[in-house]
Chains A and B, each alone.
Chain A
């Protein structure tokens, strides 16, 4: 059945309103859309790493999760969900389970690129039938915008401040989607909530209903950390994709597919200037920073084109 936002939006919410995520935050949009891809008749066991999503969605005694949900700690959501999936396998063999159960782990970039990378790598390598979703907002937003290995170069964060001598983060961001693709698991995709969110929905559906481990890296802008006006969320998602800062692609059984190639690739400057964390890049004399970021975006985009056999 062809994707239709109006139709999927009519499904009962698995992630309900009333949570305390900020207005203009990308994460709840991503979570809701991904959970819409779970078939209505299927049960889901969902985990979240410690982070904004967890502390805003499950404050005792209230929960936003209509499915079963577990939070364990910061670095171990992949391991926790892998354990739940293992219990499912054993209990299923003993005939103790009715119906299909989907296992989904959510982590921010801090809980995924950094402190949770080991547990993620382990769970994916072991081949659990689960989906790991990284909602990447490019810093430790929950603790107050500290730099992570997902933070882009020159971004101003509270632990990589744009100071008088050092102009923000000095390192380029880690390419986690590539790291996960090189785990050679059945399905890896990079996506974002753009337009009618078809790309996000279809990738979530593939990830959920491909047997074995799957990894989704989803851009999730943060109005506090990125410093944009909350209504601009969808515009930022779009700019990230149109500048090829955040290409939409998937790796199915090792085969790279680029899902969207902008007809007119926008300069990365358009993405940067919409965010307060890059404000210092636009001061006179700092043009080299933008040039450098542009060069890195181009280099990675070209490398991706090659991997997909398009160059």
Chain B
């Protein structure tokens, strides 16, 4: 029997980590992810886990220690946000290229500057090309479920890549919602033992890791890394299917909401998808054919599937809670439009809205405004502006 609880997003992640019982958690406090190492420290202090908790002096050292721990042969986890993730930047790339299946909870927060503790996606979007698998979560249940699946995806021999599980700072990290937890023994059985093929603590077969890798071999290693990311899509689907059998909760590469007969569609990540689903329901009640797609997997980007799913709409609005400062469009927008173009789908008119930067509240009226815009585009076929800002004074 599943356990019904009421937990915040941070509590849910900490609970998943407790049930996974990793060998090492190395973390540094940063709002709004601080609670995760806090909760986890109490599990350590109370002897509820076997983990070695390393209270490092910076996020750079948090990721460095995770790299050392995972390379040594242990399971390593951490949590961070915003500037903490930025301070890890150098090591994110090293973790990925070293093929170390580290799992990290990212509680999305605006990356400085200016200093701002509230939610947007500038932190994890900045790390999108670091070689980490990125899973996004609408609510605490999804954050918990993604955490439970992350090790299985990361450690799969066809993948061996680190995974970050993202959720929205404060909006879901600090909001208490109902949640369904798995029993400890079921989590243990599902996640399984970590059995790396090669690791530093193996006296019988010592290895060297992290070479100076010149042009004679470096490209081949990067190619293998790229292949691992390509392989990840299939593994994510397999693990999600197994998870669905265990829990009844189904996850794919993205979620489609009321898209069957929709004419227009919004593409949106994380908690805003919850707000947008409410608006979809309201507009549907008015007879308007609107739908929503919420990507769960941003890395690898599901190019074929997203392009195919979006190809049938007349107009699409891609919502970005991060700006690329390229004077052209946010990161989700450029991925979506590039997917459509490269797969030969030129039907839908696609526009971009940058929204919610620095934690600016996104209201149902904002979402409604965007749907009305794309409904108008669908009926007139005219796009007056592709790259737009939503809810900002200008």
Whether B393 is near chain A, meaning CB under 8 Å from some CB there, is no
The answer to whether A126 and B55 have CB atoms under 8 Å apart is yes
The answer to whether B24 and A118 have CB atoms under 8 Å apart is no
> A93 and B50 in contact (CB under 8 A), knowing A70-B209, A71-B211, A87-B69?
yes
CB of B333, distance to nearest CB on chain A (Å): 33
The answer to whether B69 and A122 have CB atoms under 8 Å apart is no
CB of A185, distance to nearest CB on chain B (Å): 15
CB of B20, distance to nearest CB on chain A (Å): 13
Instruction: Tell me the bound Cα distance from A93 to B74 in angstroms.
Output: 12
> A68 and B68 in contact (CB under 8 A), knowing A84-B201, A118-B58?
no
Output the nearest chain A residue to B53 by Cβ-Cβ distance. Answer: A86
The answer to whether A84 and B217 have CB atoms under 8 Å apart is no
Q: Per-residue CB proximity of B369-392 to A under 8 Å, as 1/0?
A: 000000000000000000000000
Please indicate the chain A residues that have their CB under 8 angstroms from the CB of B52 in the complex. Answer: 86-87, 89-90
Instruction: Tell me the bound Cα distance from A80 to B54 in angstroms.
Output: 11
The answer to whether B69 and A68 have CB atoms under 8 Å apart is no
Please indicate the chain B residues that have their CB under 8 angstroms from the CB of A91 in the complex. Answer: 23, 72-74, 201
Instruction: Tell me the bound Cα distance from A183 to B19 in angstroms.
Output: 36
Output the nearest chain B residue to A82 by Cβ-Cβ distance. Answer: B65
The answer to whether B203 and A122 have CB atoms under 8 Å apart is no
Whether A292 is near chain B, meaning CB under 8 Å from some CB there, is no
The answer to whether A83 and B212 have CB atoms under 8 Å apart is no
Instruction: Tell me the bound Cα distance from A73 to B65 in angstroms.
Output: 12
Q: Per-residue CB proximity of B145-185 to A under 8 Å, as 1/0?
A: 00000000000000000000000000000000000000000
Instruction: Tell me the bound Cα distance from A83 to B200 in angstroms.
Output: 12
> A83 and B201 in contact (CB under 8 A), knowing A68-B206, A69-B209, A126-B55?
no
Output the nearest chain B residue to A44 by Cβ-Cβ distance. Answer: B206
Please indicate the chain B residues that have their CB under 8 angstroms from the CB of A96 in the complex. Answer: 73
The answer to whether A119 and B206 have CB atoms under 8 Å apart is no
The answer to whether A70 and B61 have CB atoms under 8 Å apart is no
Instruction: Tell me the bound Cα distance from A76 to B58 in angstroms.
Output: 11
The answer to whether B57 and A86 have CB atoms under 8 Å apart is no
Instruction: Tell me the bound Cα distance from A115 to B243 in angstroms.
Output: 44
Whether A228 is near chain B, meaning CB under 8 Å from some CB there, is no
Whether A97 is near chain B, meaning CB under 8 Å from some CB there, is yes
Output the nearest chain A residue to B24 by Cβ-Cβ distance. Answer: A86
The answer to whether A72 and B210 have CB atoms under 8 Å apart is yes
Kindly identify, within residues 16 to 66 of chain B, every residue whose CB is under 8 Å from any CB belonging to chain A.
23-24, 26, 50-52, 54-58, 60-61, 64-66
Interface size class of B (residues with CB under 8 A): 35 or more
Q: Per-residue CB proximity of B199-233 to A under 8 Å, as 1/0?
A: 01111001111111110011000000000000000
Whether A88 is near chain B, meaning CB under 8 Å from some CB there, is yes
Whether B292 is near chain A, meaning CB under 8 Å from some CB there, is no
CB of A140, distance to nearest CB on chain B (Å): 16
CB of B341, distance to nearest CB on chain A (Å): 37
Output the nearest chain B residue to A66 by Cβ-Cβ distance. Answer: B206
CB of A61, distance to nearest CB on chain B (Å): 7
The answer to whether B208 and A87 have CB atoms under 8 Å apart is no
Instruction: Tell me the bound Cα distance from A63 to B26 in angstroms.
Output: 29
Output the nearest chain B residue to A81 by Cβ-Cβ distance. Answer: B68
Please indicate the chain B residues that have their CB under 8 angstroms from the CB of A81 in the complex. Answer: 68
Please indicate the chain A residues that have their CB under 8 angstroms from the CB of B213 in the complex. Answer: 59-60
> A118 and B61 in contact (CB under 8 A), knowing A68-B208, A83-B24, A86-B26?
yes
Please indicate the chain B residues that have their CB under 8 angstroms from the CB of A78 in the complex. Answer: 61
Q: Per-residue CB proximity of B105-120 to A under 8 Å, as 1/0?
A: 0000000000000000
Whether B91 is near chain A, meaning CB under 8 Å from some CB there, is yes
Residues of chain A touching chain B, judged by Cβ–Cβ distance below 8 Å, are: 43, 45, 47, 54-55, 58-61, 63, 65-73, 75-76, 78-91, 93-94, 96-99, 101, 118-119, 121-123, 125-126
- Ordered by A's residue number, 5 sampled pairs between the chains whose C-beta atoms are within 8 Å are A61-B217, A83-B69, A84-B201, A86-B24, A90-B23
